[in-house]
Chains A and B, each alone.
Chain A
Amino acid sequence: MSKFKRSSQINPEISLQITSMADIFIIILVFLLKSYSTSSIQISPSDGMKIPEAHHLQSPIEAIQIEISETLIQIEKKPITSLIHFRFNSEELTTESISKSVSASLEKEKRRQQLISNANPGVQIDSKILIIADVRTPYGTLKSVLGAAALQGYSEFKLVAIQSEGAP
């Protein structure tokens, strides 16, 4: 206490040296700007979803997004049908194990695209879909969704994964 008193008597003005702080902030800002994603494609999986990891991935593209989580299937963030532990209710499936709701929703989307394409000849009908599925999704459920998409003319499936950092 006495030491502080002594030093304050010698130099009553204590100024904070913020030049070095500004330097640090500039470095952090440059790092953040460099790592900031500038992609216009927004892929935001729902909470609790575990997206698979892969090493050799291509850049994401703009397409209709179908999300398969433990309890729900969403198309373009709109809930389409519910799932019980990643599985469809048996009433939801056709005899060919194709999801009725997903098929109906994609048919609606296809009609909308057709209308836009008719009005604007420059706009082409998109046959791509982005599949954002949880790692625990059984292939049976995935087949029902992909089958519905294929039935509606969607022929390019883009499976979303997280870029893995480690060695393959």
Chain B
Amino acid sequence: MNIGQENTGSASRSQDFDLNLAPIVDCFTVLITFMLVSASFLSIGILEASPNTLGQATTSPSAPTETLRMELKIEGVAEIQVSGHSKQLIPIPAKAGTWDQALILQTLQGLKIKYPKIDVLTLSAQNEVEYLHLVHWMENLHPLFQQINLGGF
């Protein structure tokens, strides 16, 4: 590798250096192996939830007079319940053996328009409903509600 040329007065001399890359490559090999072994390529995050008991303790005057609750049942049926001044129970039938996501979201959006102060939803499920579905619904409902509480305990 030609690093540079040096002019010294009338005589010009060239200095050629050969950079020894072998130890650098050795270092890189060790570093890459270490990083490949220790690296985690999975990105982990969290979904926030609270126990339902917190929602009941709100006594602020601006607090909504109605509370919203949704229960997932094992057969794909869901129940949306409005409690408080207004009382309403809306059963959502299953669609192809699972929860009808479009109809549930549409119903909840309608309730949000009707009761704009509601920003908390209590989500509960039957004992047999798997955690996978719970996470899926929590994620689907987060754009609609500021806070999702977990209920049933």
Instruction: Report B52-67 residues with CB < 8 Å from chain A CB.
Output: 53-54
B128 at interface, CB cutoff 8 A: yes
Name the distance in Å between B124's Cβ and chain A's nearest Cβ: 8
Instruction: Report B25-66 residues with CB < 8 Å from chain A CB.
Output: 25, 28-29, 31-32, 35-36, 39-51, 53-54
- A 137-168 to B, binary, CB cutoff 8 A, 1 in contact else 0: 11110111011011000011111111100001
Name the distance in Å between A37's Cβ and chain B's nearest Cβ: 6
Cα–Cα, bound, A137→B130 (Å): 5
The reply to whether B126 and A58 form a contact with Cβ atoms under 8 Å apart is no
**A32, A60, A146: the one within 8 Å of B44 (CB):** A60
The reply to whether B25 and A155 form a contact with Cβ atoms under 8 Å apart is no
B91 at interface, CB cutoff 8 A: no
Interface size on A, residues (CB 8 A): 53
Name the distance in Å between B147's Cβ and chain A's nearest Cβ: 11
B22 at interface, CB cutoff 8 A: yes
Interface range, B side: 35 or more
Name the distance in Å between A52's Cβ and chain B's nearest Cβ: 4
What is the predominant secondary structure among interface residues of chain B facing chain A? mixed
Return chain B residues, CB-CB under 8 Å to A137.
Answer: 130-131
User: Given A98-B153, A138-B129, A139-B134, A25 and B29 touching (CB < 8 A)?
Assistant: yes
Name the distance in Å between A62's Cβ and chain B's nearest Cβ: 11
Cα–Cα, bound, A36→B113 (Å): 44
**B39, B126, B127, B139: the one within 8 Å of A54 (CB):** B139
Cα–Cα, bound, A21→B25 (Å): 8
**B36, B50, B124: the one within 8 Å of A32 (CB):** B36
Instruction: Report A24-64 residues with CB < 8 Å from chain B CB.
Output: 25-26, 28-29, 32-33, 35-37, 43, 51-52, 54-61
Chain A minimum-CB-distance residue to B127 = A140
A102 at interface, CB cutoff 8 A: no
**A19, A60, A61, A139: the one within 8 Å of B152 (CB):** A139
The reply to whether A25 and B51 form a contact with Cβ atoms under 8 Å apart is no
Return chain A residues, CB-CB under 8 Å to B153.
Answer: 96-98, 143-144, 146-147, 150
Residues of A whose CB lies within 8 Å of any CB of B are: 18-19, 21-22, 25-26, 28-29, 32-33, 35-37, 43, 51-52, 54-61, 96-98, 130, 133-140, 142-144, 146-147, 149-150, 155-163, 168
Instruction: State the 6 A-B residue pairs at the shortest beta-carbon distance, nearest first.
Output: A57-B45, A140-B127, A147-B153, A25-B28, A135-B132, A163-B43
Give 27 A-B contacts (CB < 8 Å), ordered by A residue: A21-B21, A21-B25, A25-B28, A29-B32, A29-B35, A32-B36, A37-B39, A37-B43, A54-B136, A58-B48, A60-B46, A97-B153, A133-B131, A138-B127, A138-B131, A139-B124, A139-B126, A139-B130, A140-B127, A143-B153, A150-B53, A150-B153, A155-B54, A157-B150, A159-B135, A160-B44, A161-B44
